[in-house]
Structure 1
Amino acid sequence: MGAFGTVTNVGYLTIRTRDLSASIKEAEETLGLRLVENSGTKAFLAAADTHHEVVYLQDETDSIDHFAVSVDNLEELAAIRAKVDERQYPIVSAGPIEDYVEHGFAFVGPEGFTWQPYVALPWRDTSLTGGYGPQRYGHINYRVLDTVAQVKFLVEVFGLRVSDMVGDGELYFLRCSPEHHGIAVGRSHLVGLHHHAWATQSIADLGRLGDRLARQGRRLVHGPLRHGAGNNIAAYFQEPSGGIVEVYCDMELIFDRDRPMRTWDIEDLYWVNQWDGLMNAAILDFNTPVFEREIARV
């Protein structure tokens, strides 16, 4: 059977930040990531036993540089490249655009987001290390003008499956593994990354996150709460580059590949908060814009 070009993990993300030192400090001391390497202009951090799950890059802007999604082998990577070429998305690089990635390529997809499909790096769960940080990078939530076109792209090019839809296409949750979502896409006039999310073992870790923020004179911006869509317990805080970080546990697992899409009434806030039906509307104002890169066809 030939390769279909199917993504199996969200991989990592690279964020440009105007204050690299502050971003590293936040990732280490508040979120609990492990600093793997810091060149002075670029830092690689991870929760799992892999080289990186988030990269911070010193820049004049706070922006999302690229999302990286992983595949299992070179055949799957080639199949994705063929679909990208067929749709004539601009190629940024015929090879990887991030260090420590051996096989991959980068292109600009709908609404200016740069994507790097790549063959997965070695990875191990670190849940037994005794640290206070998360176990692994879990998902992204980003906003676009046209959610329908963005979902079509994610399904057709990366082979993702839609788990849930909120309202009339206001928000979609898509999966590339049994976990309910690896990517969420919402409709907004703000185009960019809303939050990146990290999986942890239990709700106790969310409490410890709140305690760490309180000792810094800060507060969570949302939660703890249990979402309806995804069923995960989550808490959110703001990072120095302006975006939001989610820490979560207890995400719904979907083992039926063909499970039909579930829909939620956007007016019934049970989809966002099962416990009290409330949502901090201010959380919708946070956004890390897309880095606009010059493109030379490859």
Structure 2
Amino acid sequence: MTQRLITHLRHVDLAVPDYGRQLDFYTGTWGLKAEHSDSGLTFLAAEGSPEQYVVRLRQARDKRIDLIAFGAASAADVDTLAARLAADGVRLVGEPGKLQTPGVGYGFRFFDNEGRTVEISADVAVRQHRPIEEGESIPVRLSHVVLNSADPEATRAFYEKHLGFALSDTLMHPHLGKMMWFMRVNTWHHSLAIARCPHPSLHHASFELRGLDEYMRGTGRVLRAGVEKIWGPGRHLAGNNTFSYFLDPSGNTMEYTTELERIDEDTWHPHLYDFTRPEVADQWGTANAMNEFVAKRSFNDPDQGLFQAPPV
């Protein structure tokens, strides 16, 4: 594993054909705030997060992950990472420079091993944010992003080697082998996870709520809005976090969660969990059963943007 220069997850950017419906969902139902909007482009902030935005929506013909963005501590660290990646033969989208997105900052983009666009940035201005109040069932922050991968072992190795991610836990199936890897870049149990899938795509993006009451209120609000629930509410064993998974209008899976585990990196040892054990999938036993039909909903459509950098 290389020296870790990544500090945290910033945002996930999505291109969608049904931009208007998506914008209504994320602002009217999911609880994000639209800011810095332009024609066919909206930056969505979480009221409790210092990040300028946690989701970006872009109108496009094809559905794709535009990019996943991570933070670094300084411009010098950004330059160091860019030089390391280039020396290792990783394809850069561009050299480090001033960003043209809200909060500006200094950063660069590159393609990971399967062609997803990744952005690394530093010195982005902090957004004015506030504490989420008791009973307020809107996202505090973007918790983590899970990627579907056709070659998850290689994807795990890429993020470990080039970005300093560490393995927290692994899920396995007795007959299918290892199926999901939880990766951390700080003391949160995971900021990124990698799932085995027939094709690269977004598995889900997860949003942290204030606490259990707010998480349940949010889950109920989304259900009352008629949004399709895939799985939950329940509590995972790996990460010890709660989960309620829903489909957005484009068929991307979105999660409400809370109480994701914080770990001591000096003493942590990764677990290998058999997710056919009911308590691994859901410690509480309150969620609908995880089966092949539930799992396939998060396979998502094949990403149409591999090795194609977004235009903005």
Q: Same fold (TM over 0.5)?
A: yes
Give the C-alpha shift of residue 98 in structure 1. Answer: 5.6
| Residue of structure 2 in register with 1:196 after alignment | 205
User: Aligned pair in 2 of structure 1 residues 216, 139: CA closer, same or farther (>3 Å)?
Assistant: same
Give yes or no for contact 1:210–1:219 (8 Å, CA) kept in 2: no
User: Aligned pair in 2 of structure 1 residues 134, 120: CA closer, same or farther (>3 Å)?
Assistant: farther
Secondary structure of 1:35's aligned partner: strand
Instruction: Pick which of 264-273 and 227-236 moved more.
Output: 264-273
Match of 1:218 among 218, 227, 239: 227
| Residue of structure 2 in register with 1:28 after alignment | 27
The letter for the 1-side match of 2:116 is F
2:136 aligned with 1:116: no
The letter for the 1-side match of 2:243 is A
Matches of 1:129 and 1:49, distance apart in 2:
16
Matches of 2:193 and 2:112, distance apart in 1:
16
Q: What pairs with 1:7-86 in structure 2 (closer than 5 Å)?
A: 7-47=6-46, 48-86=49-87
The letter for the 1-side match of 2:101 is D
TM-score by length of 1: 0.90
Q: What pairs with 1:44-193 in structure 2 (closer than 5 Å)?
A: 44-47=43-46, 48-94=49-95, 95=97, 99-100=101-102, 101-119=104-122, 121=124, 122=126, 126-128=130-132, 131-167=136-172, 168-193=177-202
Give the C-alpha shift of residue 125 in structure 1. Answer: 5.8
Matches of 1:268 and 1:218, distance apart in 2:
28
User: Aligned pair in 2 of structure 1 residues 93, 113: CA closer, same or farther (>3 Å)?
Assistant: same
Give yes or no for contact 1:227–1:273 (8 Å, CA) kept in 2: yes
Count of residues in correspondence between the two structures: 293
User: Aligned pair in 2 of structure 1 residues 129, 96: CA closer, same or farther (>3 Å)?
Assistant: farther
Give the C-alpha shift of residue 293 in structure 1. Answer: 4.3
User: Aligned pair in 2 of structure 1 residues 97, 269: CA closer, same or farther (>3 Å)?
Assistant: farther
Match of 2:295 among 266, 284, 290: 284
Matches of 2:129 and 2:243, distance apart in 1:
20
Secondary structure of 1:132's aligned partner: coil
Aligned residues: percent identity? Answer: 24
Give the C-alpha shift of residue 86 in structure 1. Answer: 2.1
Matches of 1:145 and 1:258, distance apart in 2:
32
Structure 1 residues 116-138: Cα deviation after superposition (integer angstroms, max 9, x where no partner): 11115325663335753110111
Q: What pairs with 1:220-235 in structure 2 (closer than 5 Å)?
A: 220-235=229-244
Structure 1 residues 5-57: Cα deviation after superposition (integer angstroms, max 9, x where no partner): 52111111110011212111111121101111211210001112432111000
Give yes or no for contact 1:6–1:160 (8 Å, CA) kept in 2: no
Secondary structure of 1:24's aligned partner: helix
Give yes or no for contact 2:105–2:123 (8 Å, CA) kept in 1: no
Matches of 1:164 and 1:120, distance apart in 2:
31
The letter for the 1-side match of 2:130 is T
Give the C-alpha shift of residue 193 in structure 1. Answer: 0.7
The letter for the 1-side match of 2:293 is A
User: Aligned pair in 2 of structure 1 residues 141, 185: CA closer, same or farther (>3 Å)?
Assistant: same
TM-score by length of 2: 0.87
Structure 1 residues 171-203: Cα deviation after superposition (integer angstroms, max 9, x where no partner): 100111211100000111031111111111122
Secondary structure of 1:178's aligned partner: coil
Secondary structure of 1:70's aligned partner: strand
Secondary structure of 2:43's aligned partner: strand
Give yes or no for contact 2:41–2:57 (8 Å, CA) kept in 1: yes
